Amino acid sequence: MSLREWLALVTEQAILWIDALVLAVIVGATIQAVVGMIRVTVTNAHAHRKREVWLHYARWLIAGLTFQLAADIIETSITMEWEAIARVAAIAVIRTFLSYFLEKDFNELQEKEESQ
């Protein structure tokens, strides 16, 4: 097995593990957010509690998107076809924008919480 083949194999495994981690993070955070919102709705909790649930969820989504972006960057290192590189680049740009706006919303909500 050549060094290039070995590197491609290790890289593919790293991407697979990162994707599995992202899946676990996002599914776990989503379940936690759904349960939290059900509790808030059933108990008629203050709107402050709803924001806490969403802020917590946003933190985990940002983490998941960041890990997924890392997997995309690793994937470009072993991709030789321009079409595949363009696809990965487009996905990375979309994820970067999603992460940016999600983090921006998160920071705005956190600033509102701190000012109140």
- Consecutive H or E run containing 61: helix 47-78
Exposed / middle / buried, residue 69 (Cβ in 10 Å: 0-12, 13-18, 19+): buried
Task: Say what percent of the chain tops pLDDT 70.
Answer: 100
pLDDT at residue 85 tops 90: no
pTM of the model: 0.75
Domain residue spans in the chain? 3-115
Other residues' Cβ atoms within 10 Å of the Cβ of residue 54: 17
Give pLDDT tens digits for 52-72: 888 889 889 888 888 988 888
